[in-house]
Amino acid sequence: MICTAFELINTHNAVIHGDIRMQQQGKSPIILILHGFRGSKNWGFFPYIAETLAEHGAITITWNMSLNGYSAQSLFIDKPEDFARNTISEELLDTQCIIDALYDSTSSLYSMLSPYWNNKIYLIGHSRGAGIAILTAEKNPSIEKICLWNPISRFGRFSERQKHTWKENGIFQVDETAEGMPIMMNYTYMEDLEFHGEQYSLIRSIRTLYARTFIIHAEQDMTVNLKEAKKLEAESEIVQLQTIPATGHIFGCTHPFTEPTIALQSAVEHTLSFFDL
Protein backbone atom coordinates (compact mmCIF):
# COMPACT_ATOMS: atom_id res chain seq x y z
CA MET A 1 0.00 0.00 0.00
CA ILE A 2 1.18 3.52 -0.75
CA CYS A 3 0.31 6.82 0.90
CA THR A 4 0.65 9.92 -1.26
CA ALA A 5 0.17 13.53 -0.17
CA PHE A 6 -1.58 15.99 -2.46
CA GLU A 7 -2.68 19.63 -2.57
CA LEU A 8 -5.67 21.25 -4.22
CA ILE A 9 -6.62 24.91 -4.49
CA ASN A 10 -10.29 25.52 -3.74
CA THR A 11 -12.55 28.13 -5.29
CA HIS A 12 -11.43 30.69 -2.69
CA ASN A 13 -7.74 30.09 -3.47
CA ALA A 14 -7.15 28.30 -0.16
CA VAL A 15 -5.04 25.15 -0.02
CA ILE A 16 -6.55 21.74 0.77
CA HIS A 17 -3.93 19.28 2.05
CA GLY A 18 -4.78 15.61 1.69
CA ASP A 19 -3.52 12.02 1.66
CA ILE A 20 -4.36 9.15 -0.69
CA ARG A 21 -3.95 5.54 0.37
CA MET A 22 -4.30 2.64 -2.06
CA GLN A 23 -2.78 -0.65 -3.18
CA GLN A 24 -2.45 0.22 -6.91
CA GLN A 25 -3.99 -2.98 -8.18
CA GLY A 26 -7.27 -3.63 -9.95
CA LYS A 27 -10.17 -1.17 -9.92
CA SER A 28 -11.43 0.09 -6.56
CA PRO A 29 -14.04 2.46 -5.13
CA ILE A 30 -12.88 5.77 -3.72
CA ILE A 31 -13.90 6.45 -0.12
CA LEU A 32 -13.77 10.09 0.98
CA ILE A 33 -13.29 10.37 4.76
CA LEU A 34 -14.54 13.63 6.31
CA HIS A 35 -13.26 14.76 9.69
CA GLY A 36 -15.48 16.57 12.18
CA PHE A 37 -15.40 19.75 14.27
CA ARG A 38 -11.86 20.45 15.51
CA GLY A 39 -10.69 17.39 13.57
CA SER A 40 -8.14 16.86 10.81
CA LYS A 41 -6.86 14.19 8.45
CA ASN A 42 -4.21 13.28 11.06
CA TRP A 43 -6.50 13.42 14.05
CA GLY A 44 -6.92 10.31 16.19
CA PHE A 45 -8.24 7.28 14.32
CA PHE A 46 -8.55 8.84 10.86
CA PRO A 47 -5.21 7.57 9.49
CA TYR A 48 -5.96 4.13 10.95
CA ILE A 49 -9.36 3.77 9.31
CA ALA A 50 -8.01 5.14 6.02
CA GLU A 51 -5.21 2.58 6.05
CA THR A 52 -7.49 -0.29 7.07
CA LEU A 53 -10.03 0.40 4.33
CA ALA A 54 -7.22 0.72 1.78
CA GLU A 55 -5.78 -2.62 2.91
CA HIS A 56 -9.19 -4.13 2.16
CA GLY A 57 -9.22 -2.84 -1.40
CA ALA A 58 -10.50 0.76 -1.32
CA ILE A 59 -8.81 3.97 -2.40
CA THR A 60 -9.14 6.30 0.59
CA ILE A 61 -8.81 10.07 0.60
CA THR A 62 -8.47 12.10 3.79
CA TRP A 63 -7.90 15.85 3.87
CA ASN A 64 -7.89 18.92 6.03
CA MET A 65 -10.76 21.26 5.35
CA SER A 66 -9.05 24.45 4.18
CA LEU A 67 -10.13 26.43 7.27
CA ASN A 68 -9.95 23.67 9.90
CA GLY A 69 -7.01 25.42 11.56
CA TYR A 70 -4.34 22.76 10.97
CA SER A 71 -1.11 22.93 9.01
CA ALA A 72 -0.57 20.05 6.59
CA GLN A 73 1.03 17.64 9.09
CA SER A 74 0.01 19.19 12.41
CA LEU A 75 -1.63 17.03 15.06
CA PHE A 76 -3.20 20.03 16.80
CA ILE A 77 -4.79 23.32 15.76
CA ASP A 78 -1.94 25.71 15.02
CA LYS A 79 -3.78 28.22 12.79
CA PRO A 80 -6.60 29.46 15.02
CA GLU A 81 -7.18 32.49 12.80
CA ASP A 82 -8.26 30.13 10.01
CA PHE A 83 -10.40 28.03 12.32
CA ALA A 84 -12.27 31.18 13.39
CA ARG A 85 -13.33 31.88 9.78
CA ASN A 86 -14.58 28.37 9.00
CA THR A 87 -18.22 27.81 7.97
CA ILE A 88 -20.37 24.94 6.75
CA SER A 89 -20.37 26.52 3.29
CA GLU A 90 -16.56 26.44 3.22
CA GLU A 91 -16.48 22.74 4.15
CA LEU A 92 -19.06 21.90 1.50
CA LEU A 93 -17.01 23.78 -1.10
CA ASP A 94 -13.84 21.93 -0.06
CA THR A 95 -15.55 18.55 -0.29
CA GLN A 96 -17.03 19.39 -3.68
CA CYS A 97 -13.58 20.52 -4.82
CA ILE A 98 -12.24 17.01 -4.12
CA ILE A 99 -15.13 15.39 -6.01
CA ASP A 100 -14.84 17.74 -8.97
CA ALA A 101 -11.09 17.07 -9.21
CA LEU A 102 -11.74 13.32 -9.42
CA TYR A 103 -13.74 13.87 -12.61
CA ASP A 104 -11.48 16.57 -14.10
CA SER A 105 -9.09 14.99 -16.61
CA THR A 106 -6.70 17.93 -16.17
CA SER A 107 -6.32 17.50 -12.39
CA SER A 108 -3.49 15.68 -10.65
CA LEU A 109 -6.00 13.62 -8.63
CA TYR A 110 -7.62 12.32 -11.80
CA SER A 111 -4.27 11.44 -13.36
CA MET A 112 -3.12 9.64 -10.23
CA LEU A 113 -6.29 7.67 -9.53
CA SER A 114 -8.12 7.04 -12.81
CA PRO A 115 -6.12 3.87 -13.68
CA TYR A 116 -7.21 2.28 -10.37
CA TRP A 117 -10.69 3.75 -9.81
CA ASN A 118 -13.93 1.93 -10.67
CA ASN A 119 -15.88 5.26 -10.80
CA LYS A 120 -17.70 4.63 -7.53
CA ILE A 121 -17.48 7.21 -4.73
CA TYR A 122 -18.49 6.47 -1.13
CA LEU A 123 -18.37 8.78 1.88
CA ILE A 124 -17.55 8.38 5.57
CA GLY A 125 -18.22 11.33 7.85
CA HIS A 126 -17.62 11.57 11.59
CA SER A 127 -19.74 13.87 13.78
CA ARG A 128 -20.06 17.22 11.98
CA GLY A 129 -18.31 15.63 9.02
CA ALA A 130 -21.31 13.30 8.78
CA GLY A 131 -23.50 16.36 8.24
CA ILE A 132 -21.21 17.51 5.41
CA ALA A 133 -21.44 14.00 3.95
CA ILE A 134 -25.26 14.10 3.94
CA LEU A 135 -25.43 17.43 2.09
CA THR A 136 -22.68 16.37 -0.30
CA ALA A 137 -24.50 13.14 -1.17
CA GLU A 138 -27.67 15.15 -1.83
CA LYS A 139 -25.79 17.38 -4.28
CA ASN A 140 -24.06 14.42 -5.94
CA PRO A 141 -26.65 11.67 -6.60
CA SER A 142 -23.98 9.49 -8.24
CA ILE A 143 -22.65 8.77 -4.73
CA GLU A 144 -24.07 5.33 -3.95
CA LYS A 145 -23.25 4.82 -0.27
CA ILE A 146 -22.49 6.96 2.77
CA CYS A 147 -21.46 5.80 6.24
CA LEU A 148 -22.10 8.20 9.12
CA TRP A 149 -20.14 7.78 12.34
CA ASN A 150 -21.79 9.40 15.40
CA PRO A 151 -23.61 11.92 13.17
CA ILE A 152 -25.14 15.20 14.23
CA SER A 153 -28.73 15.84 13.14
CA ARG A 154 -28.34 19.63 12.86
CA PHE A 155 -25.51 22.14 12.54
CA GLY A 156 -26.77 24.89 14.87
CA ARG A 157 -25.87 23.06 18.08
CA PHE A 158 -25.85 26.06 20.40
CA SER A 159 -28.30 27.36 22.98
CA GLU A 160 -30.19 30.61 22.39
CA ARG A 161 -28.21 32.19 25.21
CA GLN A 162 -24.92 31.14 23.62
CA LYS A 163 -25.98 32.49 20.23
CA HIS A 164 -27.10 35.79 21.75
CA THR A 165 -23.77 36.32 23.53
CA TRP A 166 -21.90 35.16 20.45
CA LYS A 167 -23.71 37.65 18.25
CA GLU A 168 -23.03 40.49 20.69
CA ASN A 169 -19.31 39.70 20.94
CA GLY A 170 -18.77 38.56 17.36
CA ILE A 171 -16.69 35.61 18.56
CA PHE A 172 -17.20 32.44 20.62
CA GLN A 173 -14.33 30.62 22.34
CA VAL A 174 -14.35 26.82 22.06
CA ASP A 175 -10.86 25.83 23.24
CA GLU A 176 -7.20 26.82 23.49
CA THR A 177 -4.18 25.83 21.42
CA ALA A 178 -1.28 23.91 22.97
CA GLU A 179 0.42 27.29 23.43
CA GLY A 180 -2.59 28.73 25.26
CA MET A 181 -3.93 30.83 22.40
CA PRO A 182 -7.74 31.02 22.32
CA ILE A 183 -9.51 29.00 19.63
CA MET A 184 -12.48 31.08 18.50
CA MET A 185 -15.38 30.86 16.06
CA ASN A 186 -16.53 34.03 14.34
CA TYR A 187 -20.26 34.73 14.29
CA THR A 188 -20.06 34.36 10.51
CA TYR A 189 -20.51 30.62 11.22
CA MET A 190 -24.06 31.28 12.48
CA GLU A 191 -24.74 33.88 9.79
CA ASP A 192 -23.88 31.27 7.18
CA LEU A 193 -26.36 28.79 8.70
CA GLU A 194 -29.06 31.44 8.99
CA PHE A 195 -28.56 32.54 5.38
CA HIS A 196 -28.89 29.02 4.01
CA GLY A 197 -31.65 28.00 6.40
CA GLU A 198 -33.58 24.91 5.28
CA GLN A 199 -31.02 24.22 2.55
CA TYR A 200 -28.61 23.09 5.28
CA SER A 201 -31.21 21.08 7.22
CA LEU A 202 -29.88 17.54 7.65
CA ILE A 203 -33.33 16.19 8.47
CA ARG A 204 -34.66 17.57 5.19
CA SER A 205 -31.62 16.48 3.21
CA ILE A 206 -31.52 12.86 4.36
CA ARG A 207 -35.09 12.39 3.14
CA THR A 208 -33.97 13.16 -0.41
CA LEU A 209 -30.92 10.89 -0.63
CA TYR A 210 -30.52 8.22 -3.25
CA ALA A 211 -27.42 6.92 -1.48
CA ARG A 212 -27.76 3.96 0.84
CA THR A 213 -26.99 5.32 4.28
CA PHE A 214 -25.50 3.41 7.20
CA ILE A 215 -25.22 5.03 10.61
CA ILE A 216 -22.81 3.78 13.26
CA HIS A 217 -23.38 5.41 16.63
CA ALA A 218 -21.86 4.87 20.06
CA GLU A 219 -24.50 4.11 22.66
CA GLN A 220 -22.78 6.23 25.33
CA ASP A 221 -21.86 9.19 23.12
CA MET A 222 -21.98 12.24 25.40
CA THR A 223 -20.97 14.66 22.61
CA VAL A 224 -23.62 13.67 20.07
CA ASN A 225 -26.45 11.80 21.72
CA LEU A 226 -27.73 8.60 20.13
CA LYS A 227 -31.10 10.37 19.79
CA GLU A 228 -29.64 12.39 16.92
CA ALA A 229 -28.82 9.27 14.92
CA LYS A 230 -32.31 7.94 15.59
CA LYS A 231 -33.80 11.20 14.26
CA LEU A 232 -31.92 10.72 11.01
CA GLU A 233 -32.84 7.03 10.80
CA ALA A 234 -36.53 7.84 11.20
CA GLU A 235 -36.54 10.07 8.11
CA SER A 236 -35.70 7.49 5.46
CA GLU A 237 -36.38 3.83 4.71
CA ILE A 238 -32.91 3.41 3.21
CA VAL A 239 -31.12 4.48 6.41
CA GLN A 240 -29.85 1.70 8.67
CA LEU A 241 -28.60 2.28 12.23
CA GLN A 242 -26.00 0.15 14.02
CA THR A 243 -25.12 0.97 17.62
CA ILE A 244 -21.80 0.20 19.30
CA PRO A 245 -22.27 -0.57 23.00
CA ALA A 246 -20.24 0.68 25.96
CA THR A 247 -18.33 3.42 24.14
CA GLY A 248 -18.42 7.13 23.36
CA HIS A 249 -17.91 9.72 20.65
CA ILE A 250 -14.38 8.65 19.65
CA PHE A 251 -14.89 4.94 20.38
CA GLY A 252 -12.57 5.00 23.39
CA CYS A 253 -9.55 6.10 21.34
CA THR A 254 -7.01 8.80 22.12
CA HIS A 255 -5.39 11.64 20.24
CA PRO A 256 -2.59 11.20 19.36
CA PHE A 257 -3.70 7.71 18.38
CA THR A 258 -2.04 4.74 20.10
CA GLU A 259 -3.98 1.60 19.20
CA PRO A 260 -7.47 0.61 18.05
CA THR A 261 -10.03 -0.22 20.70
CA ILE A 262 -12.53 -3.06 20.49
CA ALA A 263 -15.25 -0.46 19.83
CA LEU A 264 -13.29 1.14 16.98
CA GLN A 265 -12.56 -2.25 15.44
CA SER A 266 -16.28 -3.03 15.57
CA ALA A 267 -17.11 0.26 13.81
CA VAL A 268 -14.51 -0.49 11.13
CA GLU A 269 -15.80 -4.03 10.60
CA HIS A 270 -19.38 -2.79 10.13
CA THR A 271 -18.08 -0.15 7.71
CA LEU A 272 -16.14 -2.71 5.67
CA SER A 273 -19.23 -4.90 5.44
CA PHE A 274 -21.42 -1.98 4.35
CA PHE A 275 -19.00 -1.05 1.57
CA ASP A 276 -18.58 -4.72 0.54
CA LEU A 277 -14.82 -4.64 1.10
Domain ranges of the chain: 2-79+88-155+201-274
Q: Which pLDDT value is given to residue 184?
A: 96
* pLDDT of 181: 86
Q: Does domain 2-79+88-155+201-274 fall into CATH 3.40.50.1820?
A: yes
What is the per-residue pLDDT across 45-97, written as a single tens digit (0 to 9) for each? 999 999 999 999 999 999 999 999 999 999 999 999 999 999 999 999 999 99
- pLDDT at site 22: 97
pLDDT digits (tens, 9 = 90+) for 107-129: 999 999 999 999 999 999 999 99
Q: Is residue 44 predicted with pLDDT exceeding 80?
A: yes
- Write b or e for each residue in 35-63: b if 16 or more Cβ atoms lie within 10 A of its Cβ, otherwise e: bbbbbbbbbbbbbbbbbbbbebbbbbbbb
Q: What's the pLDDT at 242?
A: 98
Residue pair 183/171 in contact (Cβ under 8 Å)? The answer is no
So what's the pLDDT on residue 154?
97
Q: State the pLDDT at residue 100.
A: 97
Are 54 and 145 in contact by the 8 Å Cβ rule? The answer is no
State the pLDDT at residue 177. 82
Residue 4 has pLDDT above 90, yes or no: yes
Tell me the C-alpha distance between 30 and 21, whole Å: 10
- Whether the predicted pLDDT of 208 surpasses 90: yes
Q: Residue 275: its pLDDT value, please?
A: 98
Share of the chain above pLDDT 90, in %: 93
Mean pLDDT, the chain, integer: 96
Decide: residue 26, CB within 10 A, 0-12 exposed, 13-18 middle, 19+ buried.
Answer: exposed
Give the per-residue pLDDT at 178. Answer: 76
- Cβ-in-10-Å burial (0-12, 13-18, 19+) of 254 comes to exposed
Write the DSSP symbol of residue 249.
Answer: T
pTM score, whole prediction: 0.97
Question: pLDDT category, 43, cuts 50, 70, 90?
Answer: very high
